Amino acid sequence: MIVASQKPVEEIRETLKDYKKVLIAACGTCVTVCLAGGEKEAKELAALLSLSGEQEFKVVTPERQCDAEFLAEFDKDVRQADAVLSMACGAGVQFMAERCAGKPVIPALNTSFLGVNRDVGYWTEMCQGCGNCILEKTGGVCPVARCSKSHFNGPCGGSSNGKCEVDPSIDCGWQLIYDRLKSLNQLHRLYEIIPPRDWSTSRDGGPRKLRRTDVVTEEV
């Protein structure tokens, strides 16, 4: 899931200061689950920003902001607003902005990473969406996302007691890989030299597109 956190409220207020009627668009999927931009957070933000008494807020919650059909349901609300505060991830904010001709669309969140929910209110990064998965080689622990240096062939010298040199609260990704492979009895995999990889499948190759040719019947 996409994990995000809310921007500092004063920053949000500053970006909204020129608009009288603001539509707060929560997003009902990832950012709801990570307690950053769901309906509850939107209501709380609306209540907090309403304290000044100078602006009007309305909260809507599309199921997802990354599908046009869900956004279409709220076109009327968008028209009535001076600006839209999107509480979706960066993708949702942009998609909302594409739809809202002539309306400023302002982000309320900082989109952080692709991660998992480890406990109530605690998420960790697991994937960077690099487009070329090698988890089968690394015991199901991603060296790209979970090693601070994205090393492919073992930890750096800064790994000590299973912790990363960047911050002792970060587990060394390669320690995790080692532990996993050991438990799988696959330590031999560590001897393989993983060659420099092709990053063109990652964002280094430019903005990515994906087409399922069997679903797309008319070529674009």
Partner 1 sequence: MKVIVVGKSKYRDAFQSALRDAELEPVAVETAAGLKNLPEELPVVLLYDANLSPLIMEEGAAEKAVSVLKPQDAVVFLMDRDEDANPHIEYRVLETASRLASAKRRVTVLLRSCRAPDERFDDLYRIARQKGVTFIRYESLDITENEGIYTVVARDGKLSVSIDTPLLVDCGEKPSWELQEFSDALRLRTYDGGRISGNRWFLNQGATFKRNVRLVDTAALSGDIQRIMPALVKDILALEKPAQEKTAFVDAEKCAFCYTCFRVCPHSALGPDHGAAAMKVNDLLCEACGICVAICPASAIEFKAASPAALGDKPADAASGEPAGAASGDKPTDDTLGNKPAGAAAEDRRRTAEVPKETAGGKLKIFCCENSAFIIAKEALAGTDVKVESVPCGKDIEIEPVPCGGDTDIEPAPCGVNIDIEPVPCGGAVNAAMMANALRSHDRVMVAVCCEDACRHRDGNKRCIKQVERLKSRLDSLGYDSGRLSYVRTGVTMVEIFKEAALKALAGGEMK
Partner 2 sequence: MEEGKVIQKSRLQRLFEAGEFVVTGEVGPPMGADADHVYHAAEALNGVIDAANVTDNQTSILRMSSIAASLLVQQKGVEAVVQMTCRDRNRIAIQSDLLGAWALGLRNLLILSGDHQAFGNDRGAKNVYDVDSIQLIKMLTDLQNEGVFHNGKKAKGVPGFFIGTTSNPFADPAELQLIRLKKKITAGARFVQTQSIYNVEKFEAWMEKVREWGLHKEAYFQAGVLVNKSVRSIEMTQKVPGMDIPDHLVERMRKAEDPKEEGIRIALEIIQRVRKIEGVSGVHIMAVGWEEIVPVIVERAGFLPRPALD
Residues that bind partner 1 (CB under 8 A): 8-10, 13, 28-29, 32-33, 35, 38-44, 46-48, 50-51, 53, 56-63, 73-74, 77, 117, 119-120
Name the segment binding partner 2 (CB under 8 A); options: 155-163, 170-178, 186-194, 196-204. 196-204
Residue 38: contacted member of partner 1, partner 2, none (CB under 5 to 8 Å, by partner type):
partner 1
Q: Which residues make Cβ contacts (< 8 Å) with residue 178, sequence separation at least 6? A: 187, 190
Residue 198: contacted member of partner 1, partner 2, none (CB under 5 to 8 Å, by partner type):
partner 2
Name the segment binding partner 2 (CB under 8 A); options: 75-83, 118-126, 194-202, 209-217. 194-202
Q: What is the number of alpha carbons within 13 Å of residue 126 lying toward its C-beta?
A: 14
Residue 149: contacted member of partner 2, partner 1, none (CB under 5 to 8 Å, by partner type):
none
Name the segment binding partner 2 (CB under 8 A); options: 21-29, 111-119, 135-143, 199-207. 199-207
Q: How far apart are CA 15 and CA 22, in angstroms?
A: 11
Q: Are 19 and 69 in contact (CB under 8 A)?
A: no
Report the DSSP pairing between strands 83-86 and 21-25: parallel
DSSP 151-218: -SSS--TT-BTTB-SS-TTSBPHHHHHHHHHHHTT-GGGGGS-PPPP-GGGTGGG-S-----TTT--S
Among 50, 80, 153, 200, binds partner 2 (CB under 8 A): 200
Does 198 contact partner 2 by CB under 8 A?
yes
